Structure formats: C-alpha cells, structure tokens
Structure 1
Amino acid sequence: MHISAKELSARLPKNPAPKEWLAPDLSQDYVADIKYHDAVDGPGYRVAVYLSGCRFQCPGCYNQAVQSFRYGRPFTDQDFEEIMAALAEPYYQGLTLLGGEPFLNTRIALRLAKAVRERYPDKNIWSWSGYTYEELLQDSADKLELLDTIDVLVDGRFLEAEKDLTLSFRGSRNQRLVDVPASQQAGSVQLFDAWYVK
C-alpha cells in the first residue's frame, strides 16, 4: 500500500525539525540552466532543470554560483512548454530536478513534476537535495508534496571529507539514492537498486 510523504511524516516521532527554509520566502523562480539530452544526472537521456538558490552552501560545492536565488534567469511558460515537448520524445527517460536546491524552489519543481506525472506517467523523476529524506518528512507541506512526485531522491549535503568521485550520481559517500515509492511503502528508507550504481 502506498503511503504519502505527509502520512509518513505524521507517524514519525518528532525530532527537532531541520532548519526550515520556506520556498515562498526564498525562491525567485529562477533557473540556472535547462539541459536537454542530459546523460549524467540520472539514467538515460533526460531533461535536467537546474533551479537557482540553495541555503546549505556546502563547502566544496561543485555548483557554487547556483547558490544564489537570483542566478540565471526567470523560469517562463515557454520554458515549461519546451520541457514538456521534449519529454514527449520516446528516447527521454525522464526529468531531473537539481540546482541549487529543488525543495526551495517548489513552485517550479512541483509544476514540472505534476505535469510529467499527468502527461508522461511512464517517465521517471529524479531529484538531488541537500535535505535528507528524513528531514523532508518533517518539513513543510510543499516539500512533502514534491517528495510524493519523485522516484529517486539523491539526498544529503555534500561533505568534502567524504568526497568520492567513483560513486554514481553522488559526490560524497554520505549521500544516498533513495527509492522514494519503495521507502513510502516500507515506512523506512529503501535504497535505489541498479547494477550501475556503486
């Protein structure tokens, strides 16, 4: 039985909430980049949307410029339509949300993710986040809603001391590839399993 992120959140013992930054307070609805034919940020050909703004500011971050919420340009309706048109092509496996911090840019991220779920249910959605899965379960409603749309969450801050360039889709050993639907079903973190992921 599928359990939503909101239902899981209600079942968790309440630890002190992670430092809560809210998308409506921070996001400027900017994108740093939109990459078509991306073959790095998840399996297969993808559309990768780099959302601007991140408060984690991990030392050694490979994308420091995108920490600014005003980096890049405003996301437009034309961007949205071009992304949806691209994903209609059968050779695309899905959408990737990264940045920056997608969970601090939920207006854009949710709009895209919901449209992909509605129009292309056979496509998958990956997202990177400095939040851990557990932190997201204890956070705001928009973050929980976005979590419910994602297939794989690459979670956790980048830690320079744990940097490992041999890992697939991760920069440091503490980060996990979380199978979100399986985790929701099990009520605990289940890792994404694929032969090409170390």
Structure 2
Amino acid sequence: MNYADIKKWDVANGPGIRVSLFVSGCTHRCKGCFNEEAWDFEYGKPFTKETEDIILKELEKSYYKGFTLLGGEPFEYSNQKVLAPFLKRVREKFPDISIWCYSGYLFDKEITGKMLPKWAETAEMLKYIDVIVDGRFVEEQKKVNLLFRGSENQRIIEVRKSLEAGRPILWEPPEYIHVVVDENPHEVGVAPEICGK
C-alpha cells in the first residue's frame, strides 16, 4: 500500500487534534474530489513499518485525541490488508484514542453487507474503528458548514453501536455549553468588590 500524506495537528477530520493518514488508491472517482491524485494506488510513498512507527511516535504526544484514516479509500481490499494489522497496533498502544475512518463505501450495504462476510480484514478493521464517515462525495450536495463531512449524503456512524444494533447508528457530537457575555467580558470571573458591583 502507498500513502499520500500524513497530517499532524488535523482538526478537520474528527473531534479534537488528530493525526490523519491519507492512503492511496480509490475506485470511486467522485466528481469534485479534493484529493484526486490519491485515486492512483501507486501515488505517494510506500507505507512501511517505519511509516507506522512514525505515526505511533507522533500519537504519543498528549494533545492528540484521535487518529483518522482517509484516502484514497481505506476500505479498498488491498488497503485493508495493510491497515487491519496497523490499526491493531494503534489500538494496542493507545486503547483510549478515538479512531475515525472516511470511506466512500456505504457502511450497511457495502462494508458490513458485502465486505464483512467475505474478508477477515474488514472485521479486523471494524474492531478498532470507532466512527466511520460513509458515502461517496456528491459535489451537488456539498456544503462547507457540515460537521466532519463534505456532502449532505454522507453519514457519521458509530461502528460498535451499529454492529450491535444491526443498523447504522449515527454519531452525535458532544453537547457544549455556550456562554454569551453581554457586558464587559473582562469582568467574567472577577469578584464583585474588584469590578465595582
């Protein structure tokens, strides 16, 4: 397997600061793809044991919350054969890290419906992946304000819950408390006697 890029400090492809691996090889060839050069299975550099070690070393830094696989297409079978044992290494070394994967294949119809019964590597990958963003990129459904997706048809799916339920269960972002400060923002957290109130 070849890879197109390793991105450090990635905040666009999953929650928190992540390391992202962009693998080479994709047969979807989606119109408007942002990473068209990675369609070619020979594009980029060979993914070696040394490459794996570089990623694992980077993930040791405390500010990383996750690891993301993109492409290209991680679920192309030739890529699965390399990624399944690598994901095992990631999960064994970092049991609490969040692992996300982007795939043009549909989770229920293609990944679990066709690949899972056929290839042991698919089951192995799904064992370690927490969330899959599935579906081909559709340029006509592109929206720049979508959270962690390129087009509206794509779904963010919780893998374990979905496998247990036998149907796709969508991932929900954690709720955040939004605080609006109408008055002087410099007074927030200051004792009343100090700010004169």
Q: What TM-score range do you get, normalising by the shorter chain? A: 0.7 to 0.9
Among the aligned pairs, what percent are the same residue?
44
1:32 is matched with: 4
Deviation for aligned residue 1:148: 2.3
Structure 1 residue 66 and structure 2 residue 43: aligned?
A: no
Q: Counterparts of 2:36 and 2:45 in 1: how far apart (Å)?
A: 16
1:96 is matched with: 68
| Paired residue type of 1:184 | L
Q: Counterparts of 2:107 and 2:41 in 1: how far apart (Å)?
A: 23
Deviation for aligned residue 1:149: 1.6
2:14 is matched with: 42
Q: Matched residue of 2:147: which SS? A: coil
2:180 is matched with: none
Moved over 3 A (4+): none
Where structure 1 has 5 or more consecutive residues not aligned to the other structure, the ranges are 1-28
1:118 is matched with: 92
1:1-198 matched pairs, under 5 angstroms: 29-104=1-76, 105-134=79-108, 135-137=110-112, 138-139=114-115, 140-141=118-119, 142-195=121-174
| Paired residue type of 2:104 | G
Does the CA-based 8 Å contact 1:136-1:144 persist in structure 2? no
Does the CA-based 8 Å contact 2:84-2:122 persist in structure 1? no
Q: Counterparts of 1:38 and 1:115 in 2: how far apart (Å)?
A: 21
Q: Counterparts of 2:8 and 2:139 in 1: how far apart (Å)?
A: 29
TM-score, scaled to structure 2: 0.81
Q: Counterparts of 1:188 and 1:175 in 2: how far apart (Å)?
A: 16
**Higher Rg of the two aligned structures:** 2
Where structure 2 has 5 or more consecutive residues not aligned to the other structure, the ranges are 176-197
